[in-house]
């Protein structure tokens, strides 16, 4: 017997039940919740694509099957054969009237109950917490974001060319690297695929890399993970303006896709769509660092020091000043990475761009036009005291047909958190890795 066919019935997922009204179908899933007594039980069944109510009446099933339903406990797995009946009041639009109920796997004393659990308890049970309504909704939005990312670049002729995860050197500064023993030498888990992405862009023109990145950040904020996913487009012949146009097209496209295809999930999450919708339209506002700094000072913020990077409260203030993401450009070069090109009009400034999301969700994109001149870049590497030998290959890109180029990195979890309206990044990745957490 195939897994998907049971007693002659083909399995249908809850998402597609609407197309089977009036038919007898096989449903396979887990018991999310149960009500009822006596001659009638209401089983809330979930299968990952949705939740549907099965109304089990004593007259409609065998005494054994009725007993099974009566005894079944939360998160038991089951198979149902039943008729799909239209029910306009139900979120799924239908309910099931079972004629057969089969217990597949028991679930005794499921630890996550309806009562409130603290975040530590839930994180300790992340492998089960994922089965909760809200968590499933976040994972489905994340899935839509991942697919939208790939579609966006595929449709615009950006090839996916991935960067390695084991690397011999740092990309975004040396303080937050995870070192690993690589046979007889030391290697590091990548903080960003960008430098390799630049090499790939010199080969294929427009590329993106997309994978997990690692930062040994000792910060416990809700916006930091030690392992997170980043998508990094890089394009030959792009200047800062091109990078910004790409970034706003990209982010607005992702928002539109989620609004189109994952509205139900956003509803489960209680997302205020009126706050998200403006981000589905371009252009996005743009301000220079200087102007952002002035806004902060005028707001009476006493923690901000001009010339320094923005902290979380500063990003929150700036993000809240606009109805959609804002792009901040022309940063003090001293606080930005060695590879950023300097502004010809003022070499103290770097042609970097950060995109800050509204509603306090912070920076979602960091990017820049890159320095393409060999001598200038060699000088930068020396100034920063970086190991020149490790960058030999990177400098080759400036030796053999160097061109202006640029790109950015978008943090997937930050983007999902913002779109879902979820405060903490730890709910936006299936198994979060943080300063004090590597289990489960
Ligand atoms: O601004 P970052 O550090 O930029 C880079 O790594 C560039 N090399 C990317 C490029 O130009 N190709 O990181 C990019 C984004 C941030 O804007 C943020 O969304 C996310 O990655 N990010 C994190 N997300 C979760 N946890 C962390 N610890 C993160 N650090 C950065
Ligand atoms: Mg950044």
Query: Do 79 and 2 meet the contact criterion of CB atoms below 8 Å apart?
Result: no
Where along the chain do its domains lie?
5-105, 124-427
* Nearest Cα to Cα of residue 215 among 171, 182, 261: 171
Q: Tell me which ligand sits closest to the C-alpha of residue 410.
A: 1
Closest ligand 1 atom, CA of 197?
A: 12
DSSP one-letter code for 435: T
CA 200 – CA 280 distance, rounded (Å): 30
Phi, psi of 198 (to 5 degrees): -65, -40
Query: Do 148 and 253 meet the contact criterion of CB atoms below 8 Å apart?
Result: yes
Asked if domains 5-105 and 124-427 share a fold, the reply is no
- How far lies 229's CA from each of 159, 215, 394, 408, in Å? 18, 11, 23, 13
CA 408–ligand 1 middle distance (angstroms): 9
CA 411–ligand 1 middle distance (angstroms): 6
Beta carbons within 8 Å of 195's beta carbon, 6+ residues apart: 163, 171, 339, 394
**Nearest CA owner, ligand 1 atom 6:** 192
Phi, psi of 370 (to 5 degrees): -95, 155
CA 78 – CA 27 distance, rounded (Å): 8
* Nearest Cα to Cα of residue 356 among 331, 309, 330, 319: 319
Structure tokens at 12: 């249908």
Beta strands in 58-127 (DSSP E): 77-86, 94-105
Q: Tell me which ligand sits closest to the C-alpha of residue 173.
A: 1
Query: Which is the CATH superfamily of the domain at 124-427?
Result: Bira Bifunctional Protein; Domain 2 (3.30.930.10)
pLDDT at 3: 58
CA 216–ligand 1 middle distance (angstroms): 13
CA 50–ligand 1 middle distance (angstroms): 33
Q: Tell me which ligand sits closest to the C-alpha of residue 412.
A: 1
pLDDT at 114: 84
pLDDT at 1: 46
CA 22–ligand 1 middle distance (angstroms): 51
Closest ligand 1 atom, CA of 366?
A: 1
Dihedral sign for Cα atoms in the order 308, 313, 315, 317: negative
Angle at 427 between CA 422 and CA 433, to 5 degrees: 135
Which of 193, 363, 371, 435 has the most ligand 1 atoms within 8 A of CB, as the residue to mutate? 363
* Nearest Cα to Cα of residue 104 among 30, 13, 12: 30
DSSP one-letter code for 277: G
Query: Do 408 and 249 meet the contact criterion of CB atoms below 8 Å apart?
Result: no
Surface-to-core class of residue 266, CB atoms within 10 Å of its CB (0-12 exposed, 13-18 middle, 19+ buried): buried
Closest ligand 1 atom, CA of 362?
A: 19
CATH 2.40.50.140 fits domain 5-105: yes
Phi, psi of 77 (to 5 degrees): -95, 150
* Ion ligand 2 residues within 5 Å by Cβ: 366
State whether residue 334 is helix, strand or coil. helix
**Ligand 1 site, CB within 6 A:** 171-172, 192, 194, 215, 217, 224-225, 228, 230, 232, 363-368, 407-409, 411, 413-414, 425
Query: Do 262 and 241 meet the contact criterion of CB atoms below 8 Å apart?
Result: no
Q: Tell me which ligand sits closest to the C-alpha of residue 363.
A: 1
Structure tokens at 84: 């799909």
Closest ligand 1 atom, CA of 194?
A: 12
Which of 163, 216, 254, 366 has the most ligand 1 atoms within 8 A of CB, as the residue to mutate? 366
Closest ligand 1 atom, CA of 215?
A: 28
* Residue-by-residue pLDDT tens, the chain, 440 positions: 455 888 888 899 999 999 999 999 999 999 999 999 899 999 999 999 999 999 999 999 999 999 999 999 999 999 999 999 999 988 889 999 999 999 999 999 999 998 889 999 999 999 999 999 999 999 999 999 999 999 999 999 999 999 999 998 776 777 799 999 999 999 999 999 999 999 999 999 999 999 999 999 888 889 999 999 999 999 999 999 999 999 999 999 999 999 999 999 999 999 999 999 999 999 999 999 999 999 999 999 999 999 999 999 999 999 999 999 999 999 999 999 999 999 999 999 999 999 999 999 999 999 999 999 999 999 999 999 988 888 999 999 999 999 999 999 999 999 999 999 999 999 999 999 999 999 99
Q: Tell me which ligand sits closest to the C-alpha of residue 231.
A: 1
Closest ligand 1 atom, CA of 408?
A: 11
CA 27 – CA 43 distance, rounded (Å): 12
CA 410–ligand 2 middle distance (angstroms): 9
Closest ligand 1 atom, CA of 226?
A: 28
CA 21 – CA 93 distance, rounded (Å): 10
CA 394 – CA 397 distance, rounded (Å): 6
Structure tokens at 237: 């012949």
């Amino acid at each position: 017997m195939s897994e998907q066919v049971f007693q002659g019935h083909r399995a249908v997922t809850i998402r597609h039940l609407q197309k089977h009204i009036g038919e007898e179908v096989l449903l396979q899933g887990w018991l999310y919740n149960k009500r009822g007594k006596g001659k009638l039980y209401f089983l809330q069944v979930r299968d990952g694509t949705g939740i549907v109510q099965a109304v089990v009446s004593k007259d409609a099933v065998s005494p054994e099957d009725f007993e099974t339903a009566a005894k079944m406990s939360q998160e038991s797995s089951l198979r149902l054969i039943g008729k799909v009946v239209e029910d306009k009041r139900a979120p799924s639009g239908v309910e099931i009237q079972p004629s057969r109920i089969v217990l597949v796997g028991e679930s005794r004393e499921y630890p996550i109950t309806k009562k409130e659990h603290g975040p530590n308890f839930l994180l300790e049970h992340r492998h089960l917490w994922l089965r909760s309504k809200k968590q499933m909704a976040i994972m489905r939005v994340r899935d839509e974001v991942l697919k939208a990312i790939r579609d966006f670049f595929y449709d615009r002729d950006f090839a996916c060319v991935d960067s390695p995860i084991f690397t011999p050197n740092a990309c975004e500064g040396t303080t937050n690297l995870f070192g690993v023993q690589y046979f007889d030498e030391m290697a590091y888990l990548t903080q960003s695929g960008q430098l390799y992405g630049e090499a790939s862009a010199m080969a294929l023109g427009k590329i993106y890399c997309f994978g997990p990145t690692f930062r040994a950040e000792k910060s416990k904020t809700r916006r930091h993970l030690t392992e997170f996913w980043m998508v990094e487009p890089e394009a030959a012949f792009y200047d800062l303006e091109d990078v910004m146009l790409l970034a706003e097209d990209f982010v607005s496209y992702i928002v539109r896709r989620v609004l189109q295809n994952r509205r139900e999930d956003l509803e489960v999450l209680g997302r205020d769509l009126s706050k998200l919708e403006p981000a589905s339209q371009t252009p996005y506002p743009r301000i220079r660092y200087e102007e952002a700094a002035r806004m902060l000072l005028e707001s009476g913020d006493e923690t901000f020091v001009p010339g320094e990077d923005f902290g979380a409260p500063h990003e929150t203030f700036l993000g809240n000043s606009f109805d959609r993401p804002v792009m901040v450009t022309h940063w003090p070069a001293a606080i930005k990475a060695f590879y950023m090109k300097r502004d010809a009009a003022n070499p103290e400034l770097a042609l970097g761009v950060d995109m800050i999301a509204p509603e306090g969700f912070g920076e979602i994109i960091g990017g820049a036009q890159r320095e393409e001149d060999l001598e200038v870049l060699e000088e930068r590497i020396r100034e920063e005291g970086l190991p020149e030998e490790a960058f030999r290959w990177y400098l080759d890109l400036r030796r053999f047909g160097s061109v202006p180029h640029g790109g950015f990195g978008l943090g997937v979890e930050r983007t999902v958190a913002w779109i879902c309206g979820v405060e903490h990044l730890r709910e936006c990745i299936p198994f979060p890795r943080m300063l004090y957490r590597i289990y489960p």
